[in-house]
Structure 1
Amino acid sequence: MAAEGAEGLEGAGADPTLWAEVRALLPRAEEGLTLSLSGEVEGCVLPLLQRARALLYGLSGRPEAAAAAALGRLSDVLRDYSWEKLNAAPWREVGKGWRQVYAYGCLFGALAEVAAGRPLARAVRLCDLGLLLGAAVQDHALARLVRALQPRLPRGSAPRHRPRAQRVRREPPPPPPAVQPEQAIPHLHCPSLEHFRDNYLIPQRPVVLEGVMDHWPCMKNWSVDYFCQVAGCRTVPVELGARYTDEEWSQQLMTVSDFISQYILEENSVGYLAQHQLFDQIPELKEDISIPDYCCLGEGEEDDITINAWFGPGGTISPLHQDPQQNFLAQVLGRKYIRLYSPQDSENLYPHESQILHNTSQVDVEDPDLVKFPNFTKAAFQSCILTPGQILFIPVKYWHYVQSLELSFSVSFWWS
């Protein structure tokens, strides 16, 4: 994973202006970079971290190529060693200390890239890996570093289609079921906080809110080309497959530009960018959205709200499942067909018995096996086609099935 190697670190040397800006993000004195770990790690690790720190603080003025190369090699060792620990047990059981070691390895590696004067794309990738797989270190140094580096990268644009003869098209998504009037989720234009609380939040009734996100910058800014310009170089996790219950479903790390090229424009298979950290990772995108005012009716603080990104082509599906928090699903691009079932119908929806998928129904909503799941027909549902500018309130524990009808970008806000 980490061992892309430090080869080629003998570049032209660091840009003095950039190096000074990057070094200013860290404590001035070596002892200020504390290397404190939240959890036990093997005794051999701390001396490696201390050695990397000493190399870093020896890179004063215009860094020497040999010292930068040595720091790069040591960062590879730290990442490789901690990577084995991250994958030796289920993620929930991985100690925070090892995730911090991985983050330090990414931090030292990114700084070595800058010190060597190499192109900044790999330094940004290392920052992203540390943000995604590590734990916060040194006052969120990785996030601050990548914000300093990204403006110096060339702003990309959406890759062009290859000639049509070379492209392999996905199967078009099936047409959505018709939304019958008696099953339609009600729509409401900018209700007051009191009206929403009394008529929808307290009684836990779904509703489509209109006019609430009209002023969000994303409604004017967001497009495939915009994502490439703002975030094309950033590494993100991508889900491969039409739905997460499929046997061939998998996850992969890739840049936003590669994701768009391979799974949005080329249409060769289905990939979906589903990210719980995207807006923390890329603040430029977070500035384009707003937390709905109605979240203030919850019990938690604003920092407790989880903001998720969902970006993918038509044909991607979220199987019938439920979430443990209230959900505002805001549609920015494209349309989605959504079907909701009350938690009171849970027994009729046949949740998986396994702990991993206990929040997911065994029933294929598009083609239910009524011999195996006969009570599914007893479950009443509501549905809608969510269009850009609309926000769907999904009450806590409500079962929901989601089908993207075309290229789609949604933002969900989970709150208590």
Structure 2
Amino acid sequence: MKLNLQDIPRVRGISKEEFQEKYFIPQKPVVFEDLSADWPATQKWNFDYFRKKVGDVVVPLYNGEPAKAGEKSHAPSAEMKFGKYVDILQKGPTDLRMFFFNLLQNSPDLVDDFRYPENLGVKFFKRLPVLFVGGQGAKVVMHYDMDLANNFHFNFVGEKRILLFPPEETKYLYKVPYSIVSMEIIDMDNPDFNKYPALKKAKGFEVKLKHGEALYIPSKWWHFIKYETASLSLTLRSLPKSPGKILEVLNNLIIMRNYDAVMRKWKGQKWIDYKNEQAIKNTHNSAKLNKDEQ
């Protein structure tokens, strides 16, 4: 059995009116096949180019291992120069990933290689254009973004598989309490439906994003990413404006994240085990699974 997934719509030459009406306002994902066609980045950005531009910048790297008891939930597993990391990527499969590499802080001239697609009628947060890089086979746990941004994810190197689930499917996704992630032990690329039967009820979307393509990920949509090959992508963000979402963002950043950090430090593995147990219990209750299905 496989996850219940459908293809994400694809568009070319879309107008502001059509994007707003069909995708942005109703909060639906879409793949842009030509949104960055005339950007210098589409022609220039590859691993050798970044080795030359920022090869000496030391970057934090993350692997696929869940954080251990007492560790911060987002602590890097290694640090090295970007150039050395590129060497590793080009040698073959690796689960090492780099995320939220801020171009403005590390190489401001790279900003000249792209343009904000303001013709879509979207106001972007221009202080945070960020790169995401990963090796072949690397995976990103199912999650939604803590700042509830609308994300425009442009892929320039390689290919990645992305799964998306809307917020209303949260009840089937084994959300971990006091976090914005699903259970890290679940491999959404090959889920175990015997252990996690609620996933059979989840309805989502998938896409294989290739060079030059961009994916619109609406606010609070869950996403899982698998790097089919070594890949480099740029995300441009549009922050939420509604009072309700702004309050939720503040709660996520100030209260929830700090509370979880304190409990991890105080309770260690017991806190992690408790949250995972609650994730299963809450999901099975919300999904209304009977005892035979659990």
TM-score, length-normalised on structure 2? 0.71
Kindly state the Cα deviation for residue 220 of structure 1 after the two structures are TM-superposed.
Answer: 1.2
User: Cα distance, 1:385 vs. partner?
Assistant: 0.7
Residues 317, 402 of structure 1: 8 Å contact kept: yes
Deviation at 1:384? 0.9
1:401 pairs with 2:227: no
Map of 1:310 onto structure 2: 132
Please, which of 57, 71, 88 is the counterpart of residue 234 of structure 1? 57
Question: Which residue of structure 1 aligns with residue 150 of structure 2?
Answer: 326
Q: How far apart are 1:289 and its partner, in Å? A: 1.7
Contact 1:314 1:407 in 2 (8 A): yes
Map residues 60-139 of structure 1 onto 2, 5 A cutoff: none
Letter in 2 for 1:317: K
Alignment: residue pair count: 230
Which AA in structure 2 matches 1:260? V
Match among 83, 103, 109 for residue 278 of structure 1: 103
Amino-acid identity (%): 27
Residues 362-411 of structure 1 show CA distances to partners (whole Å, capped at 9, x for unaligned) of: 13212323344221110111111111111111110111111111121111
> 1:360 aligned to 175, 181, 185, which one?
181
Give the match's secondary structure for 2:77.
strand
Spell out the pairing of 1:28-47 with structure 2 (5 A cutoff). Answer: none
- Cα RMSD of the aligned pairs, angstroms, is 2.6
Match of 2:161 among 324, 337, 340: 337
The answer as to whether partners of 1:351 and 1:360 remain within 8 angstroms in 2 is: yes
Relative to structure 1, the CA distance from residue 376 to residue 294 in structure 2 (aligned partners, 3 Å threshold; closer, same or farther) is farther
- Farther off after superposition, 213-222 or 363-372: 363-372
Query: Unaligned stretches of 5+ in structure 1?
Result: 1-176
Structure whose residues are more often helix by fraction: 1
Distance 1:213 1:377 in 2: 36
CA contact (8 A) 2:58 2:81 kept: yes
> Equivalents in 2 of 1:378, 1:294: separation in Å?
37
Match of 1:255 in 2: 81
Q: Is the 8 A contact 2:100 2:132 kept in 1?
A: yes
- Cα separation, 2, equivalents of 1:207 and 1:309: 20
User: Aligned equivalents of 1:346 and 1:395: distance in 2?
Assistant: 15
Aligned residue runs from structure 1 range 201-212, under 5 A: 201-212=24-35
Partner Cα distance (2:48, 2:218) in 1? 34
Alignment check: 8 A CA contact 2:93 2:135 kept: no
Answer 1 or 2: higher relative contact order, Cα 8 Å, separation at least 6. Answer: 2
**Offset at residue 277 of structure 1 (A):** 1.8
Contact 1:295 1:415 in 2 (8 A): no
- The answer for unaligned runs of 5 or more in structure 2 is 240-294
State yes or no: 1:392 paired with 2:218: no
Deviation at 1:267, TM superposition (A): 3.7
Could you tell me how far apart the structure 2 residues matched to 1:212 and 1:179 are?
29
What amino acid sits opposite 1:233 in the alignment?
A: D
CA distance in 1, matches of 2:18, 2:129: 24
After TM superposition, give the deviation of residue 223 of structure 1 in Å.
2.0
Q: CA deviation at 1:246?
A: 6.2
In the aligned structure 2, how far is the partner of 1:193 from the partner of 1:245? 41
State the SS of the aligned residue for 2:129.
strand
CA distance in 2, matches of 1:254, 1:411: 20
